[in-house]
Amino acid sequence: MTKRALITGITGQDGSYLAELLLNKGYKVYGLRRRTSTPIMENIEHIKNEIEFIEGDLMDQGSLSHAVNVSQPDEVYNLAAQSFVGTSWDQPSLTGQLTGIGVTNMLEAVRLNKPDAKFYQASSSEMFGKVVETPQKETTPFYPRSPYGVAKVYGHWITVNYRESYNMFACSGILFNHESPRRGVEFVTRKVTDAVAKIKLGLQTELRMGNLDAKRDWGFAGDYVKAMWLMLQQDKPDDFVISTGETHTVQELVEIAFSYVGLNWQDYVVIDPKFVRPAEVDLLLGDCSKAKEKLGWKREVGFEQMIRMMVDHDLERLQKQAQAELV
């Protein structure tokens, strides 16, 4: 029988890769989409006719119940969130409501309408924050450093709580940073690759950045959505760290991206205090041994390979745009 999946956050980076993966596996895919004045479809333009969209919002309980009722999903992937850490200081209450309480809203919708559906929650390595051990694994205590991180800790524990209270098949994937050409342009990897492409093409002269010393464990989003799916194929619900086991500074990222197009980053990068955060997560490095052993998951795309892929994509996109403007 055809399996049915409901994805919240389907228009985002991960939602788009996950929808592709599930469609390729023969799933009927339902996507929760919020109403916006201009539709945000860039990431899923190529598959939009294969997806059944349901209008709803993570902060509107009734719409979530409706979405679960209509789709009757076997699997629910809760990816929707206010996902940008920087914005979480500007909009802390909204981030708490959406990224935190929104998880309860979705869990309630599942509990009341399709309690046997398997549930995936998009937890984050931001929960480790000011890390108390390195590398970070499933048992590492949380110490969030932003309103976003705090909201994700709530979302994580409410998922565990619903598993324990109601015996629901609810899993949390503690995913470390993962990127792709579909990454929002405010996140550091995409901000850099977009700027490098613009500078190379003479469309921009400098790149203003925050803390270059921060270290992140960066993987490729296409690899990470496979882990989400694998978690819901297990016999028992559990939580898993998904990471590469490598860490790099923001400066290394900048060096790799500029040197790939034959430029010296020091000629273009300017430090701007506007991009330095009130509290920083200095170092993230994940240990995904549990996922390797129990899920058989491993990453396929390396860090440099991914940055080059993103630069190539941005160069191609901007060149196409320039050509279209000439016509």
> What is 129-181 written as a DSSP string?
-S-SSSSB-TTSPP---SHHHHHHHHHHHHHHHHHHHH---EEEEEEPPEE-T
CA angle 223, 219, 169 (to 5 degrees): 55
Whole-angstrom distance, CA of residue 92 vs CA of residue 87 = 8
Tokens of 115: 């309690």
Report helix, strand or coil for 220. strand
CB of 322 to ligand NAP, least distance (A): 26
Using rule CB under 6 A, residue 211 touches ligand G4F = yes
Is position 299 an interface residue for ligand G4F (rule: CB under 6 A)? no
**Residue in the structure block whose two tokens are 């129990």:** 294
Residue numbers 55-114 binding ligand G4F by CB under 6 A: 83, 85-86
**Which regions of the chain does DSSP assign to beta strands (E)?**
4-8, 28-33, 51-55, 75-78, 118-124, 170-175, 178-179, 207-209, 215-216, 219-220, 240-242, 248-249, 269-271
| CA dist., res. 186 & res. 298, Å (int) | 27
Q: Residue 141 touches which of ligand NAP, ligand G4F, none (CB < 5 to 8 A by kind)?
A: none
Considering the complex, state which of residue 124 and residue 193 has its C-beta at the smaller distance from ligand NAP.
124
The verdict on 186 binding ligand G4F (CB under 6 A) reads yes
Does 13 interact with ligand NAP (rule: CB under 6 A)? yes
Tell me the CA end-to-end span of the chain in Å, nearest whole number.
Answer: 49
- The interface region with ligand G4F, picked from 54-62, 105-113, 162-170, 273-281 by CB under 6 A, is 273-281
Catalytic site residue 42?
A: no
Q: Residue 159: which of 225, 107, 95, 202 has the closest Cα? A: 107
Site string for ligand NAP, 113-152 (x = CB under 6 A): ---------x-x----------------------------
The burial class, CB within 10 Å (0-12 / 13-18 / 19+), for 97 is middle
Catalytic pick among 126, 154, 162, 180:
126
In the list 28, 178, 215, 226, the residue contacting ligand NAP (rule: CB under 6 A) is: 178
Q: Which stretch binds ligand G4F (CB under 6 A): 37-45, 130-138, 272-280, 304-312?
A: 272-280
Q: Is 126 annotated as catalytic?
A: yes
Shortest Cβ contact with ligand NAP: which residue? 12
Query: How far is Cα 245 from Cα 302, in angstroms, rounded to an integer?
Result: 11
Nearer to ligand NAP, 32 or 117 (CB): 32
Show the binding pattern over residues 42-61: x = contacts ligand NAP (CB under 6 A), - = does not: ---------------xxx--
CA–CA separation, 292 vs 111, rounded Å?
Answer: 30
Q: In sequence order, what are the beta bridge partners of 51?
A: 29
Per CB under 6 A, does 275 bind ligand G4F? yes
Asked if residue 307 binds ligand G4F (CB under 6 A), the reply is: no
Please, which residue, 52 or 186, has the CB nearer to ligand G4F?
186
Any catalytic annotation for residue 148?
yes
Q: How far is the CB of 93 from ligand G4F (least distance, A)?
A: 18
Q: What are the catalytic residues?
A: 124, 126, 148
Residues at the contact surface with ligand G4F, assessed by CB under 6 A = 83, 85-86, 124-126, 176-177, 186-188, 191, 209-211, 214, 216, 250, 275, 277, 280-281, 284
